[in-house]
Structure 1
Amino acid sequence: MSTDRHHHHSEVDGFGTVTIRPVRPDEDLDLLHAWVTQDRARFWGMRKASRERVHEIYAYLDSLVTHHAYLVHRDGVPAALAQTYQPEADPLGQCYDVRPGDVGVHLLIGPPTTVERGFTGAVFGAILDFVLSDPGRRRIVIEPDARNERAINRFLRTGFRPGPLIDLPEKRARLLFLERPAG
C-alpha cells in the first residue's frame, strides 16, 4: 500500500474541518453514483453509468497502486470526490513530457446544499495541501475539458500555469501545471 491510502485532516480557517479518506466502493456507492451521473458532472464522463458500472470503476481504482480515489468531507458532510494518479501509468502520460514527481489530480465538487462563496476554493486548497503532503511530489498536473472555462479559470487563479491543449480519447483537454512551492 502506498502512502496515498491514509486519512488526512486539516482545519481550514473560517471553513471547518476537511477530512480526506480513500473511497470505499461498497459503502460509498450511493453517493458516488448520485454525484457522477448529474448533469453538472458531465465533464467527469460518467453521466449515463449504472450503479454497477460506477461500482466496477471505483473497485478497479481501489485495486491499483497508481490511481487513488478519495472522498472529501467538510465537518463530516461529503463535499467532493478527488482522484490522484501517476501520469506515467495513465493515457495522459503519452500526451506530455512527464517529469519525476508529477502527480495527476481530478476533482469533482459535490452538489451544493447552499451556495457559499469560497467553498470550492477552500476544498480545492485542502486537496492541494493533501497531494503535496507527499514530499516526492514536485508538480501537480490537471487536464480539465478544454470547454470547461470555469474550471480552467479557477485553476489559473489558484496558481496553475497553462500548458498545451491535448487530445485524449474522451476529450480535448487543457493541461495545467502547479509546481511545488520553493522552500
Structure 2
Amino acid sequence: MAVYEQVADGFGVVRILPLDAKADAEVIHGWVSEPRAEFWGMNGLTQEQVREIYEGLEAFDTHHAYLAVHEDEPVGLLQTYEPEADRVGECYEVEPGDIGVHVLLAPAGDAGGRPGWSSSVLTAFTSYVLVGLDRRRVVVDPDERNERAIARFRRQGFECGQVVVLPEIDLPEVYLPEKRARLAFLRRETMLAQ
C-alpha cells in the first residue's frame, strides 16, 4: 500500500511504497549493480547480499527504504534516515525537522530517457519527506565525485553546502568506508515555492 502519491504534470502518478526487501531484491540488485550506481556502494554484491542489507535496514526505527512506482513499474529507490542517527550527523549542525535521504533512480528503459522523468520522481521523493512526513529540510550527501547527482540536486532546488568527510563505519552488521561527500540541503519553503 502506498504511503504517498504525487501527481506529476505530463508524467502521471508516482506512488511511494515501503520497500519489500525480499520481493524487491531482484529489481534493486539490478539497479545497484550497474556501473552508473558505483557511488551507491553495492557494485559487486549478490542479490542475496542486497536483500540481506535491506532486511537489516528494516530493524531500524531511524532508517527506512521505499520504492517509487509509476504505472506499476519501479522508477526509484528512496532511503530516509534521521541525520543524528547517521554518520552525516557528525559532519554538520543538524536542525530540528531535518531528514536525510539517499536516492537512486531507475535506469532509462529500452525506449530511452523521458524528458522531466528524473525531476518528477525527485519531486515525489522530496514532497513525501517534506510534506508527507512534515519535515523542514532534506539533507543529501552524494560522493563529491558524483557530479551528475550534485547537478541533479541543484536543478531540483537544493543548495550545496560544504564537502565533508563521512567517517568509516566498521561494525559486525555494516561496513561503510570513509567518504568525501558534498552536502546539499532543500528547505520545505523552497520546494513549495517551485
Q: Same-fold call, TM > 0.5?
A: yes
Query: Secondary structure of the equivalent of 2:21?
Result: coil
Asked if 1:178 corresponds to 2:186, the answer is yes
Report matched runs for 1:49-64 at 5 Å. Answer: 49-64=45-60
Match of 2:82 among 70, 80, 86: 86
Superposition misfits of 4+ residues, deviation over 3 angstroms: none
Q: Sort the Cα spacing of 1:136 and 1:54 in 2 relative to 1 into closer, same or farther, 3 A.
A: same
The aligned residue for residue 172 of structure 2 is: none
The corresponding residue for 1:144 is 142
**What amino acid is aligned across from residue 59 of structure 1 in structure 2?**
E
Corresponding residue for residue 4 of structure 2 = 8
Unaligned runs of 5+ in 1: none
Alpha-carbon displacement from aligned partner over 1:127-163 (angstroms, at most 9, x marks no partner): 1111112464111000111011121112112211111
* CA–CA separation in structure 1 for the residues paired with 2:59 and 2:159: 32
Task: Give the aligned partner of residue 121 of structure 1.
Answer: 119
5+ residue gaps, structure 2:
169-176
- String of CA shifts for 1:89-123, please: whole Å, max 9, x gaps: 00111111111111001110011102111111111
Q: Which residue of 1 aligns with 2:131?
A: 133
Give the structure-2-normalised TM-score: 0.87
Instruction: Give the whole-Å Cα distance in 1 for the aligned partners of 2:86 and 2:2.
Output: 22
Cα RMSD (Å): 1.6
Aligned residues: 179
Q: Does 1:153 align with 2:151?
A: yes
1:110 counterpart = 2:106: yes
* Amino acid aligned to 1:85: Y
**Partner Cα separation in structure 1 for residue 60 and residue 101 of structure 2:** 15
- State the percentage of identical aligned residues: 46
2:40 aligned partner = 44
Tell me what 1:70 maps to: 66
**Secondary structure class of the residue paired with 1:41:** helix
d(CA) in 2 for partners of 1:19, 1:134: 12
1:10-39 Cα offsets, whole Å, 9 max, x none, are 221110110100100111111111111111
